[in-house]
Amino acid sequence: MTYSVTVREREIAVRELTVGDIREWLTMMASSNQTNLVDGLLFQEQQMITSEIAFMTTLDVSELNQFTPRELVKVIDKCKEANPLFFQFRAAVIGADVRIQLPSE
């Protein structure tokens, strides 16, 4: 299912994640060796980083950089509406400080 939110007269699609998407997110998080300060702190209260916003929307990270934080909070709110179970899962993973391990090949 796809939701939409309008920011600066631009319609942005927000997709509901599948179980496969959530597995892909885990892989993405496990392979990411660092988070910059903007990603780590700017949207801390909203429990998201910019790569996750891009992952759930039709925006890429370079496009996200053109929006103000307040505008992106509108997008994040729509992401949360579309994916409430993902955000519960994400909070559990991060809150428990779970060490994500990729299967050995």
Q: How confident is the model at residue 36 (pLDDT cuts 50, 70, 90)?
A: low
Q: Phi/psi class of residue 6: alpha, beta or left (left: φ > 0; alpha: ψ in -120 to 50)?
A: beta
Residue with tokens 């509406």, as numbered in its chain: 81
Q: How confident is the model at residue 20 (pLDDT cuts 50, 70, 90)?
A: very high
End-to-end C-alpha distance for the chain, whole angstroms: 33
In tens, the pLDDT along 49-95 reads 888 899 999 999 899 989 998 999 999 999 999 999 999 998 888 77
- Eight-class DSSP state of 57: B
* Cβ proximity of 22 and 13 under 8 Å: no
What pLDDT is recorded for position 29? 79
pLDDT at 19 over 70: yes
Q: How far apart are CA 82 and CA 84, in angstroms?
A: 6
